[in-house]
Structure 1
Amino acid sequence: MGWFSWFWDMLSFLGLNNKTGKILFLGLDNAGKTTLLGKLSTDQVHQHRPTFHPNVEELTLGGIKLKTIDMGGHIQARRLWKDYFTKVDGVVFLVDAANGERFEEAKKELDMLLQTEELAKTPFVILGNKIDLPNAISEPGLVQVMGLTGLLTGKQTKVAPGSGVRPLEVYMCSVVKKVGYGDAFRWLSQYLQNA
């Protein structure tokens, strides 16, 4: 049994099965959104061309039924993001943690999403991807450059429904090395609805 299968079996064991949700995968182009979706659906990593049209996948992972929508990250595709905000149960925002030249652009897009009324109560997990690269920023560094200092709600604490606080957390990961994103999805799954 591979690590990936073991992880999703553990989610089921921990009682995180029988959940369902619609998750948006957002972020700038080349952050790893399509690679992550491919990894989740087939446990394979492939080279992908830029995403020009939304990719919709329905996945069942450890008993969690997800409808995932991978949105392109280039400028033209970002204009379509708002068309998919309705009835979203979570947002996974990927940042290329090894490309400091684009942090400001990523922060601008994340700020816009966090200020969007339709997503005001939607849980957000920010994935700092590509930590396997030598020039990747640390988690505290990413929190700072993305303007999230003091806004995170905690990896061990669940935000109470109706509290008026949006669940928000940062996880560092490497999709190609199979590191870090499992914890992020476990965190996000606690906010999904029971099937």
Structure 2
Amino acid sequence: MFLFDWIWNMLSFLGLYNKNAKILFLGLDNAGKTTLLGVLKDGRLSQNRPTFHPTSEELSMGNIKFRTYDLGGHETARRLWRDYYTSVDAIVYLVDSSAPERFEESKRELDALLSSDELSNVPFLVLGNKIDVPGTPSEEKLRASLGLTQTTGKGKVTLNPGVRPIEVFMCSVVRRYGYGDGFKWLSFYLS
């Protein structure tokens, strides 16, 4: 019963009740996509191998339906991302913020996603993961490296038509903090 209550409270907190959403979990390899999906699915952390094939999970509880797709982040997997753009409601883009040497590569992939016409109205939640690792750069450094210095704002903001919601949240999936605020923000922009 504890797991049911935990998931219900988490999804209610995130504002995903009475909503159906198709969410893509994207980012470079080793950013924490599969780990985050595991925590959201059953509240447990596990040691994961690299994702070589797209996986999908449907989280369902009462009136909540939340379909996620973890597409992997290695170079070969990135070529398949476009195949999943159809009818997507949101992108959760994870960045290993403890690996600044990969920020440029991550920016290239994020820029390609942001420039896609198919995703022009899709909200983007950017999670700077692994802030629990000592020496991890600040949110400001990550934002500057990704070219995301001007974003939507961390509260619910009324946007002009055609303006895509995008925001950065720092988090630690293993320590279980930060991403809840990000998903709460994202829920404001899911129809």
- Measured in 1, the distance between the counterparts of 2:137 and 2:14 equals 32
- Measured in 1, the distance between the counterparts of 2:71 and 2:186 equals 19
Q: Which amino acid is the alignment partner of residue 53 of structure 2? A: H
Report the TM-score when normalising by structure 1.
0.90
Kept in 2: contact 1:159–1:166 (CA 8 A):
no
1:188 to 162, 186, 189: 186
In structure 2, the residue matched to 1:99 is: 99
Q: Deviations over 1:100-149 (max 9, x none)?
A: 11000000000000000000000000000000001211111111110011
Runs of 4+ in structure 1 deviating by more than 6 angstroms, as ranges, are 1-4
- Measured in 2, the distance between the counterparts of 1:77 and 1:7 equals 29
Q: Does 1:157 align with 2:161?
A: no
Kept in 2: contact 1:19–1:189 (CA 8 A):
no
The 3 A distance-change label for structure 1 pair 80 and 154 is same
Residue 29 of structure 1: SS of its match in structure 2? coil
- Measured in 1, the distance between the counterparts of 2:177 and 2:111 equals 26
Structure 2 residue runs without a partner (length 5+): none
Q: Which amino acid is the alignment partner of residue 192 of structure 1? A: L
Kept in 2: contact 1:94–1:126 (CA 8 A):
yes
Q: Deviations over 1:41-75 (max 9, x none)?
A: 01111111110111100013685321000011000
In structure 1, the residue matched to 2:115 is: 115
Residue 28 (structure 1) shift: 0.1
Residue 18 of structure 1: SS of its match in structure 2? coil
Q: Deviations over 1:152-193 (max 9, x none)?
A: 011113344x61100000000000000101111111112223
Report the TM-score when normalising by structure 2.
0.92
- Measured in 2, the distance between the counterparts of 1:158 and 1:100 equals 30
- Measured in 2, the distance between the counterparts of 1:73 and 1:139 equals 22
Kept in 1: contact 2:26–2:71 (CA 8 A):
yes
What are the equivalent positions in structure 2 for 1:33-112 lying under 5 Å apart? Answer: 33-60=33-60, 63-112=63-112
What RMSD in Å do the two structures reach over aligned CA positions?
A: 2.2
Kept in 1: contact 2:128–2:139 (CA 8 A):
yes
- Measured in 2, the distance between the counterparts of 1:137 and 1:79 equals 29
In structure 1, the residue matched to 2:172 is: 174
Residue 8 (structure 1) shift: 4.7
Q: Which amino acid is the alignment partner of residue 128 of structure 1? A: G
Percentage identity across paired residues of the two chains: 60
Structure 1 residue runs without a partner (length 5+): none
Q: Which amino acid is the alignment partner of residue 29 of structure 2? A: D
Q: Which amino acid is the alignment partner of residue 155 of structure 2? A: Q
Residue 23 (structure 1) shift: 0.1
In structure 1, the residue matched to 2:139 is: 139
